[in-house]
Amino acid sequence: MKQNNSKINPPLWLLAEITYRCPLSCVFCYNPVDYAKQHSELTTSEWIKVLREGRKMGAAQLGLSGGEPLLRNDLEEIVSEAHKLGYYINLITSGIGMTEKRIKALKKAGLDHIQLSFQDSTKEMNDFLSSTKTFDLKKRVANLIKKYDYPMVLNCVLHRLNIDHIEEILKMAESMGAEFVELANTQFYSWGMLNRDQLLPTEKQLKNAEKITHKFRDRLGNKMKLFFIMPDYYSVRPKKCMNGWGNVFVTVQADGTVLPCHVASMLPGIEFESVKNKSLNWIWYESPGFNKFRGDDWMKEPCRSCPEKENDLGGCRCQAFMLTGDANEADPVCDKSPYHHKINEAVIASQKPKNFEKPIVFRTDKDSREIMHKRDKGQLELKTSRLLEKHSKPSKNKSRVGVV
């Protein structure tokens, strides 16, 4: 069924990735692997124009993320304008750059919510995974969040290297007075995909983590709400990605490029427009990029005639592309997909002990530029993690510790 424009819902969620600069180098970073090609960021007035347009179209939730959004000196101005427009504003941050002066100014400007990320419950692993010495600083930021009367919302991305610390992570969250804790297993896109062999947990690890999460849930009830998000690789049905392509979410990248999800720029042959050249309204309703996977006209078999297609809309287009080379395929997480074996193979491959010896790729500007360069010359295949072996080498100034 082709979707006609009168049936397209307005966006409700606007994610503004206001900068790709970041002092951290997380191994699972969701920023595009080629983020370093973006040399410019929208100015304050350009962001304000985006916010006005988004609100006029119906968006009510605003996520301010990056990179590290606190690196923008105009963050308070952006928040203030968003507040006047009536958005509910969520700052998604590593905490680096948060001071008492800034949190006070952000509160005054109307910031509603802060989501603070941790990499682990131990200083050693937190600092290794982010390639920085930031563990103590994050604890100080957590105290500030409490002091300024924000709900304490902690986020920890789980993977094979930290999932066995889940009990300590949850105890740490409890001791900090967290009201919401999101334990999101790494989804294998972008930098996470490059490191998939080292980051995919075993089934045993996952089951144990779920068990411990349930134990905490039972004990703490509503005092600390826990969200445990499974990795797709252990499912047989995909998620309804972004609740549908161009249906609820709109992402604006640091340079103004507008995407239906934050990693969609990886898809070949789709030109995503920028707010510098077109209105947000036109991009959402009219642009070929946003209409590409609306409705179900694009679907191939087995999705096309599948009785379950309304449940998941064929899953994630980016995952389909990464694992099959064709964005129109069913998401291979689905066991009806002819490519489902690729998921099983990845799970088996990731369990090999030799993976522990492979170097991990940290998200750095230098690595991003090198990957782009090699990819443009056809020397890399981004959809496989084989490039790890060819590409990764330790960068200078990065802390490296044993992690098994």
Residue 378 Cβ vs ligand SF4, minimum distance, rounded to whole Å? 27
Q: Which stretch binds ligand SF4 (CB under 6 A): 19-27, 69-77, 217-225, 271-279?
A: 19-27
Segment 186 to 215, residues that bind ligand SF4, using CB under 6 A: none
Tell me, what amino acid is at 240? Answer: K
Q: Which stretch binds ligand SF4 (CB under 6 A): 7-15, 60-68, 196-204, 395-403?
A: 60-68
∠ CA 146-150-153, rounded to 5°: 85
Residue 85 Cβ vs ligand SF4, minimum distance, rounded to whole Å? 25
Q: Is 312 in the site for ligand SF4 (CB under 6 A)?
A: yes
State which residue, 112 or 329, has the beta carbon closest to ligand SF4.
329
Q: Which stretch binds ligand SF4 (CB under 6 A): 47-55, 78-86, 300-308, 389-397?
A: 300-308
Bond preceding residue 67 cis, omega within 30 of 0: yes
State which residue, 55 or 159, has the beta carbon closest to ligand SF4.
159
Task: Please tell me the distance from the alpha carbon of residue 221 to that of residue 225, in angstroms, as a whole number.
Answer: 7
Residues 6+ apart with CB under 8 A from 275: 42, 46, 49, 50, 53, 252, 256, 258, 283
State which residue, 61 or 117, has the beta carbon closest to ligand SF4.
117
State which residue, 24 or 382, has the beta carbon closest to ligand SF4.
24
For the four alpha carbons of 185, 129, 213 and 356, in that order, the dihedral sign comes to positive
CB 78 within 8 A of CB 48: yes
CB 236 within 8 A of CB 198: no
What six digits make up the tokens of 72? 């923008």
Residue (of 136, 122, 196) closest to 166 by Cα position: 122
Residue 377 Cβ vs ligand SF4, minimum distance, rounded to whole Å? 26
CB 29 within 8 A of CB 190: yes
Residue 96 Cβ vs ligand SF4, minimum distance, rounded to whole Å? 8
State which residue, 317 or 363, has the beta carbon closest to ligand SF4.
363
Residue 349 Cβ vs ligand SF4, minimum distance, rounded to whole Å? 23
Segment 359 to 378, residues that bind ligand SF4, using CB under 6 A: 363
CB 162 within 8 A of CB 404: no
What six digits make up the tokens of 127? 């600092």
CB 119 within 8 A of CB 92: no
Q: Which stretch binds ligand SF4 (CB under 6 A): 20-28, 141-149, 215-223, 342-350?
A: 20-28
Q: Is 231 in the site for ligand SF4 (CB under 6 A)?
A: no
Task: Please tell me the distance from the alpha carbon of residue 248 to that of residue 8, in angstroms, as a whole number.
Answer: 10
Residue (of 90, 9, 16) closest to 57 by Cα position: 9
Task: Please tell me the distance from the alpha carbon of residue 282 to that of residue 280, in angstroms, as a whole number.
Answer: 6
Q: Is 254 in the site for ligand SF4 (CB under 6 A)?
A: no
Residue 296 Cβ vs ligand SF4, minimum distance, rounded to whole Å? 9
Q: Which stretch binds ligand SF4 (CB under 6 A): 132-140, 208-216, 249-257, 328-336?
A: 328-336
Residue (of 75, 22, 21) closest to 51 by Cα position: 75
Q: Is 67 in the site for ligand SF4 (CB under 6 A)?
A: yes
Q: Which stretch binds ligand SF4 (CB under 6 A): 22-30, 192-200, 249-257, 278-286?
A: 22-30
Among 141, 142, 318, 334, binds ligand SF4 (CB under 6 A): 334
**C-alpha distances out from residue 32 to 94, 128, 264, 335, 365, Å:** 18, 21, 9, 28, 11
Bridge-partner residues for 16, per DSSP? Answer: 64, 252
Task: Please tell me the distance from the alpha carbon of residue 197 to that of residue 349, in angstroms, as a whole number.
Answer: 7
Q: Which stretch binds ligand SF4 (CB under 6 A): 54-62, 74-82, 301-309, 383-391?
A: 301-309
Strands 153-158 and 180-185: parallel
State which residue, 361 or 387, has the beta carbon closest to ligand SF4.
361
Q: Which stretch binds ligand SF4 (CB under 6 A): 146-154, 180-188, 273-281, 307-315?
A: 307-315
Q: Is 246 in the site for ligand SF4 (CB under 6 A)?
A: no
Residue 315 Cβ vs ligand SF4, minimum distance, rounded to whole Å? 5
Residue (of 85, 276, 68, 90) closest to 182 by Cα position: 90
The residue count for binding ligand SF4 (CB under 6 A) is 25
Q: Which residues bind ligand SF4 (CB under 6 A)?
A: 22, 24-26, 29, 31, 66-68, 94, 237-238, 302-303, 306, 308-309, 312, 314-315, 330-331, 334, 336, 363
